[in-house]
Structure 1
Amino acid sequence: MIAVRVEAPYASFRKSYARSFAETYPIAPPATVYGMLLSLVGEWRRAAHAGVALAFAYEREPKVATVLRKLSRYKYGVAAKQSKMGNAPDYVEVLCGLSFLCWIESRREHGTRAQEGTPRLEERIVEAIRHPERVTRSGVVCLGMSDDAVDDIALVEEPIGEWRLLVPRDDGTMDLPVWVDHVGALDTRWRRYHLAPKAPLTGTPPLDHFVPILDPRAPAP
């Protein structure tokens, strides 16, 4: 198991059912963080590290700002609409000052990388952070959209200070996607979470705070 600290000045995580007003999830969805980690290590296959489990803690709850920016509405399947009406200015919610910890547990990975017997996500993240010159990727590492660049990703041995653990709970107030179907909604999966009050962190989060990233289209391992 490893932990990384992620910092980004701003990012927008458009809610799955947002329409004319692009509301954002209140924190970074696990599915988005998983995609960022794949980008960090230069992995193109989304299911490469399926089965990895992630847990999170936030330094603070990000502030929400509303900005006017270009918004894409018809990305898939309607090229004519996209070219004429798809990219237009509209109001978009943006989170400001993201700073969080992400723990990565790879023991139960069963994705294509595990099947090939190649290094798992934990090992690849350590390699990417210590030797970034060995990673080949397209563009910079982003948290969400391509213009939401990450300021810093660093390995953390022992968290310092007080943090707000993100706790998976059936009665949680946040419904966050852990796997996104980018074409439709059939294979999108959500999990409810609760952002706990600030408290000093000692060691790693409890095992029940870790949520596996699973491809719903793949057969059960």
Structure 2
Amino acid sequence: MNVLAEKYKLYITYSGGDDAFLIGSWFNILHFAKELYKKFKEFTCQNQSFSFSAGIFLCDNHFPIARMSEKTAELEELSKDFEKDGKIKNAVTVFGCTLNWDNYCAMIDFAEKLSYYTNEEELKDKDKLARSLVHRLLRIIKSCLKQNGQVDTDKLYKNVAQLHYLFARHGFTAEKIEDAQNSIEKDIISVILKVFSKEDIIKNYQIPLNYVILKTRKLNKQ
């Protein structure tokens, strides 16, 4: 882990027994977590009897480290309580989502692809998504969540039509999406439309959407 932490320029605040607490930039932490999981699987020879859970807490650089540790521990507990397909733990919590590591890695992969197809400057580009549309997609997903974090299926299905309308307004018509081979329509639009009918995974797409919003934000220079 020390080698990976150095690679991603992370500060190991604590490491002992089977616990560790690391601090770093949000971007590096997310990619560190993905690679750590892959290295862990290699080290354990894919043995599913071994697993680990984690919490990733994002905050500004003025947030007290002691409070940061507490908040991260709370997220880790959510991961430890996670259960999917009869398997407990082996999960990570970030951006309000708790999911297993394989799904997390898939979300980071999709985030990188979405980032590539997002227009940071909000200029018209038929081959790019407007950053404002990424914001809108995130708001739509959040609007489908109940207070307990569960998906409101009625709102979810109602928003599918809204999604088609939104994409059409930005030039991504049903015909273009259907005929797409290797383009934004195939790699991004069709994927989003498909997952909106899957209540068990739609919540996870908050991760790539938040990822792109953070990566493309304009920082105020002091």
* TM-score in terms of structure 2 length: 0.24
> Highest relative contact order (Cα 8 Å, sep 6+), 1 or 2?
1
* TM-score in terms of structure 1 length: 0.24
